[in-house]
A = this chain, B = another copy of it.
Amino acid sequence: MRRPYFLGHSDWSGDQAANFPSSLLNISMEQRPGLPREVTTKQLGISVEELLVILVIEDDQNVQGIVEEALTDGGFGPAIAASGEEAVSLLKGDRSKYRALVTDINLLGRLDGWHVARVAREIDPNFPVVYMSGKDAEDWASKGVPRSIMLAKPFAPVQLVTAVSQLLNIGTPTA
């Protein structure tokens, strides 16, 4: 049911995709369940590019699946990055594409989620940030950025979409 989504290159041929950096191949965006892609985007009256793309950094396949499903069900377009380095590269490459960051703390590579969030805020001081963590939740008070939200694992999927919504909605205070 889920198909990989190539951001900005939805008409790529298989060959082009084959030459694309493998990490980006991880980026996927789900359709709204049960609807053909065309109907979904037409219904929204917007092109795919206008979908709210949420950058997700999570290497645990199970959690990644839950997060993708929750965001997609809520109407967001999740884009998965495999590491903090990749996420930073994506954020710097196209500042206006991503509308929020949802990140685990312990990531593959050198950068952790705390670091990526700081970079995102250097690019845009109002960038919405949601952390997800089990054992590091208590570090939020010292390592998190202001006006972010920490989801202590385990969390229910609706907590994630509520968190992202609150941070995106103008006029909703967060701490």
Contacts of A165 in B (CB 8 A): 156, 158-159, 162-163
Mark contacts of A127-150 with chain B using CB atoms, 8 A cut-off: 1 yes-contact digit, 0 otherwise. Answer: 000000000011111111111111
Which residue from chain B places its CB closest to the CB of A70 in the assembled complex? B75
Mark contacts of A102-141 with chain B using CB atoms, 8 A cut-off: 1 yes-contact digit, 0 otherwise. Answer: 0000000000000000110110011000000000011111
Picked from B74, B121, B154, B169, the residue with its CB within 8 Å of the CB of A151 is B169
CB atoms of B171 and A148 under 8 A apart:
yes
Contacts of A66 in B (CB 8 A): 43-45
Interface magnitude class on chain A: 35 or more
Contacts of A1 in B (CB 8 A): none
Copies per assembly:
6
Q: Is A17 in the interface zone, CB < 8 Å from B?
A: no
Given contacts A140-B146, A141-B146, contact A172 B161 (CB under 8 A): no
Q: CB within 8 Å of B: which residues of A?
A: 42-46, 50-52, 60, 62-63, 65-66, 70, 73-76, 118-119, 121-122, 125-126, 137-159, 161-163, 165-166, 168-175
Minimum-distance CB pairs A-B, first 7? A45-B62, A75-B156, A74-B158, A121-B142, A125-B141, A162-B165, A173-B173
